[in-house]
Chains A and B, each alone.
Chain A
């Protein structure tokens, strides 16, 4: 492990070294995917990037797929005349199509890179899987695919291809579920009280997204099953994280934006339950209100994110997806409760999520250098001590 990263260090020297903080550096692959007309970097340096590329980069695809789903939901007009619906309907479908294509391209590129990393740098992937923060982002590609599937304009949920794709994306999630959740309560060093951190919400969100897609597909039982698994583990995780047994050192300061996942999970649960029960009932409302409260709680603590905001990194992309999911839940809430206040809330949250995503895209386009990785974030040298050593 160390020799691998050591031998690759000279190749990586072209990049300005900016410290070896865990999981907050990114690859030039992003450059390639975000601006396809630029020439790809050298092959040798590309292989060097593969070591530094990690699953956290899928935050970008998560954000973009979530945005696509939000735009689709907003432009899906209901039959009820609503003062704000024409506004939403006026979103040009061309813009939505562009967004969807961008999301698809990003996702395909990132998946290709990660596949290359699996093939060529398998020990790195294994180390990532064993890391208490990194392993949660292994769910991220599948979540992005499911979100994109739901946002696809030309694919209806009843078609067999939709079903097939759903199975293709859900099976990996199920496998990862069994592995990760089983570890929580059985395996020695990986007890939940030791490894719990806000990124663990990704596992819960994966289950809930699967449940929502299944409900949309019409398969009620599967949807309830996935929801049950997600909800049960969300309960456990919520309690554990609030207890903060280990204090705030389970997550590096640069990854504080991941705290936004705190309110992404209940929003997603609200959406999933709404799809299962076909209406925005009291349970969905309660989950939505809980996520609103957690959002207010985090937003009123800007000092929590001060350190992470000093330097641009891929962790900043963690802001976008939770805001998008919250806006989605607000949209469902506004549709369920036809009140002007709810519509205003939905609009405000939707605008916020769009602005944040756009800002992040601009930042990424102009500061691509800072997304480049400087170190293998999962090498034995840079990892925090809680990780089990790789073979």
Chain B
């Protein structure tokens, strides 16, 4: 009876794996069959087409006990959904190769193996020593990592005892380290039940990953794109990237951008209905009220969902907070609340002052944290992380100042205006400089650039309200906003070719803000030009929001990908060494040539050299 032995592999094996592929390319007689640890039994019988078999002798470093052993690797195209293997970091092996061996001597015991699963020890000396020596001979550089041994199935007992349960709990366990309570709870429960989870099992590897938040450098290294939300091809996510994660994990903080967009529209339509320059349009206030109720409902919905996410997936929220772009979106809920208060169908002066203090307190605390990070240097200093989304942390000050001035407060609005102005100047200069140390600015224009218009337009309105009239300071700020708007609008051609994301809603409120500022200016200086400008800009803002709404509906109902897997929170803490190979194993098409080429072109110098050395060595072997 053939036993399935499980191998804990290491870098030379992976290198040999690469060689396998090359071997496949060269000669069709090499077949690779790899099975996941969980699915050997079932897939062996049910899905033979998934396997490619290769004689183990051809693999450098494998221990060949005499008989022809077959190594099975699953075809990368469609891994079975239940048994997607979790990713490891570079200290542990991502894949479990299962080695079919003839009936093994009784020396292989399950207990022996469980403890030796990830610790590199010579467990079965007779069998592994030649292999070990071979590996040592082939890659002296990786001496400390060259231990590997053939072992029976790691979790065979578990599998035999409770196969269906294993399948269920595996799926949950992968997301456990991101969960606030369940992960620890499950571990405690399984400890109580007498099946202590191996500390070095794959799941706890993930929790090791998530014990600490990745450093800022890791975010920049692992992610790319104008919103830093796309995983680089050389990176591996901690969570499986080929299936849909739980909804809460996919719900980003940038969803609050929707509320920003809709609530600012409510304020715009309120201004259109009440301001003298546009009164001739006879816009009804009902539109503003309807929009306001819609935004209120949306705010309630989004905050409920995000609150649940905070309760159940605190780790994911923490990682979002340390993301260079997403950190700014933590201001969005409070700015949206400020907009809601401003657009409410009640008189501003009637609102209790406590509401203002209550809404500004979280903004103040967030500011202390984020601006302090800019000032004290370190890895989150401004010259490194500056990006247009930082405007979201500045605009909150001006929106608060505007609302406070409308409510009749005096000192508080000036406080926040001063703080906002000082930091806005810093950010403005930094972004205009496009420092070489700054990697987050997209080379091409992206809707995020519209955030440039937000701060000056709201600042002009706030200053006008603080001083009681639209004086020169407010005009200066307004004209700056107008100029920035124009310089972005004429470059509309460059805003093409970007993947839609929910954060785009947040980029519509600057347009709306500019329209409201134009109406405020037109109230002061009323002539044909200003009226035309106010109507024109309001029209553009409304059309943009409507278009965005259509696109969002399209993504929700037709494409069903409004909430894609949020890979930006699932990056590894350390750069995985052979992740490129694995990533391609798991996700690439069956075109092996591409894989070979991509492996050889790996930019990671470590894997490059080792791959090449093992590839050359592998070539010499057979």
- By a beta-carbon cutoff of 8 Å, the part of chain A in contact with chain B is 235, 238-239, 241-245, 247-249, 259, 262, 282, 285-287, 289-290, 292-294, 296-298, 300-301, 304, 337, 339
* B418 near A235: Cβ-Cβ < 8 Å: no
Interface contact A248-B418, CB-CB below 8 Å: no
Is there an interface contact between B368 and A297, defined as CB atoms closer than 8 Å?
yes
The one of A239, A249, A259, A282 in contact with B430, judged by C-beta atoms closer than 8 angstroms, is A239
CA distance A301 to B378 in the complex (A): 13
Shortest C-beta distance, B374 to chain A (Å), equals 6
**Cα distance, A59 to B51, chains bound together (Å):** 76
Contacts of A248 in B (CB 8 A): 376-378, 381
Can you list 11 A-B contacts (CB < 8 A)?
A: A239-B429, A239-B430, A244-B381, A245-B383, A245-B437, A248-B381, A286-B414, A286-B418, A292-B415, A294-B375, A298-B372
A296 touches B368 (CB 8 A): yes
Tell me the complex Cα distance, A282–B473, Å. Answer: 12
Given contacts A239-B425, A243-B429, A301-B372, 18 further A-B contacts (CB under 8 A): A238-B425, A242-B374, A243-B382, A243-B430, A244-B383, A245-B383, A247-B378, A248-B378, A259-B376, A262-B375, A285-B411, A286-B421, A289-B415, A290-B419, A290-B422, A293-B415, A293-B418, A297-B372
How far is it, in angstroms, between the C-alpha of A361 and the C-alpha of B177 when the chains are bound? Answer: 52
Mask for B369-400, Cβ within 8 A of A = 1, else 0? 00110111110011100100000000000000
The smallest beta-carbon distance between B215 and chain A, in angstroms, is 14
List, in ascending order, chain A residues with CB within 8 A of B421's CB. 286
B426 on the interface (CB 8 Å rule)? yes
Shortest Cβ distance from B429 into A: residue: A239
Chain A residues lying within 8 Å of B376, measured Cβ to Cβ, are 244, 248, 259, 301, 304
Please state if B422 and A238 are interface contacts (CB–CB under 8 Å).
yes
Taking CB atoms, residues of chain B closer than 8 Å to A235 are 425
Enumerate the 4 nearest inter-chain pairs by beta-carbon distance, A residue then B residue, closest first.
A248-B377, A286-B418, A244-B381, A289-B415
Q: Are A241 and B414 in contact (CB under 8 A)?
A: no
Contacts of A282 in B (CB 8 A): 414, 466-467
Main secondary structure of the interface of A (DSSP, over half): helix
Question: Cβ of B435 < 8 Å from any Cβ of A?
Answer: yes
Interface: B417 (CB within 8 A) = yes
The answer to whether A243 and B368 touch across the interface, beta carbons within 8 angstroms, is no
Q: Which of B411-451 contact A (CB under 8 A)?
A: 411, 414-415, 417-419, 421-423, 425-426, 429-430, 435, 437
Partner of A245, one of B378, B423, B435, B467: B435
- Chain B residues near A294 (CB, 8 Å)? 375
Q: Which residues of B contact A286 (CB under 8 A)?
A: 414, 417-418, 421
Contact of B414 among A243, A289, A296, A339 (CB under 8 A): A289
B381 lies within 8 A of A243 (CB): yes
Instruction: For the complex formed, measure the closest distance between the CB of A284 and the CB atoms of chain B, giving whole angstroms.
Output: 10
Which residues of B have CB within 8 Å of A339? 411
State which of B371, B417, B426 has its C-beta within 8 Å of the C-beta of A243.
B426
B368 touches A289 (CB 8 A): no
Measured CB to CB, the closest approach of chain B to A260, in angstroms, equals: 12
Chain A residues with CB under 8 A of B423: 242
Residues of A within 8 A of B419 (CB): 289-290, 293
- A298 contacts across to B, CB distance below 8 A: 372
| Chain A, Cβ-Cβ closest to B375 | A242
Name the one of B367, B377, B418, B466 contacting A287, with C-beta atoms under 8 angstroms. B418
Please give me the residue from chain B that is nearest to A247 by CB atom. Answer: B377
Q: Pick the residue among A241, A247, A289, A296 that contacts B375 (CB under 8 A).
A: A241
